[in-house]
Chains A and B, each alone.
Chain A
Amino acid sequence: SQELEQSPQSLIVQEGKNLTINCTSSKTLYGLYWYKQKYGEGLIFLMMLQKGGEEKSHEKITAKLDEKKQQSSLHITASQPSHAGIYLCGADHRRAASKLTFGTGTRLQVTL
């Protein structure tokens, strides 16, 4: 969707390196959701951000929502092969979690 741009489209990193994925919205975000998808499988929820400036972490993954609530980043520290997959951001532009707008995804490969 042009309302939500995700970058980069693909990423290849060496194991142990850090990486960042960005998600930029053309509209104010009432909620920003990060999911991970393994190839050929469903979406696994990672984190949800709702407040400007909010930051959440789980294990080696940190997600932030900027103060203006139009951009989010997902940062992985010391990447591992288990981090490989497709990362999707989903935007709530209408205060309705049932109607998310998704980015096109970032395909992450982690090499040994």
Chain B
Amino acid sequence: NAGVTQTPKFQVLKTGQSMTLQCAQDMNHEYMSWYRQDPGMGLRLIHYSVGAGITDQGEVPNGYNVSRSTTEDFPLRLLSAAPSQTSVYFCASSYGGTPPTDTQYFGPGTRLTVL
């Protein structure tokens, strides 16, 4: 299994540009999440999904869109990039369930710089 994969690894955007961060997992996980990591602030949840066709907002959703058309893929879209979105973005997936019996598995991250 490849686990959780993310592309690209690095990206530089200009203010106002749009782009999509790709995330895929091959573990048949129902739950997928997007986090951003900023210095001194830890990881913060942007959006999450509990299954194909179901998404919801996390702690910092403004400026980002997500969709989940398949179990495997969970892309994150930046509609109009701003310098405040400069960060490292992590995608994660897990089996789910209540209570969860497994942890989240994280991708390697995408380092985004917005000029």
Chain A positions near chain B (C-beta within 8 angstroms): 1, 4, 6, 30-31, 33, 35, 40-45, 48, 50, 88, 90, 92, 95-105
Are A97 and B109 closer than 8 Å at their CB atoms? no
Taking a contact as CB atoms closer than 8 A, the residue among B32, B42, B100 that contacts A103 in the complex is B42
25 pairs from A and B in contact (CB 8 Å cutoff): A4-B42, A30-B99, A33-B103, A42-B108, A42-B109, A45-B103, A45-B105, A45-B106, A50-B99, A88-B42, A88-B43, A90-B43, A92-B100, A95-B100, A96-B31, A97-B31, A97-B96, A98-B33, A98-B48, A98-B92, A98-B96, A99-B45, A102-B35, A102-B43, A104-B40
Taking a contact as CB atoms closer than 8 A, the residue among B40, B58, B104 that contacts A97 in the complex is B104
Return chain A residues, CB-CB under 8 Å to B108.
41-42
Chain B positions near chain A (C-beta within 8 angstroms): 31-33, 35, 40-45, 48-50, 58, 90, 92, 94, 96, 98-100, 102-109, 111
If A99-B48, A99-B58 touch, whether A42 touches B98 (CB-CB below 8 Å) is no
Return chain B residues, CB-CB under 8 Å to A30.
99
Return chain A residues, CB-CB under 8 Å to B99.
30-31, 50, 92, 95
Return chain B residues, CB-CB under 8 Å to A102.
35, 42-44
Return chain A residues, CB-CB under 8 Å to B96.
97-98
If A95-B99, A100-B104 touch, whether A43 touches B90 (CB-CB below 8 Å) is yes
Are B48 and A43 closer than 8 Å at their CB atoms? no
Taking a contact as CB atoms closer than 8 A, the residue among B31, B58, B106, B111 that contacts A43 in the complex is B106
In whole angstroms, how far apart are the Cα atoms of A35 and B37 in the complex?
14
Return chain A residues, CB-CB under 8 Å to B100.
31, 92, 95-98
Query: Which residue on chain A has the smallest CB distance to residue B88?
Result: A40
If A42-B90, A43-B90, A98-B33 touch, whether A48 touches B43 (CB-CB below 8 Å) is no
Return chain B residues, CB-CB under 8 Å to A48.
102-103
In whole angstroms, how far apart are the Cα atoms of A65 and B103 in the complex?
16
B23 to chain A, nearest CB (A): 12
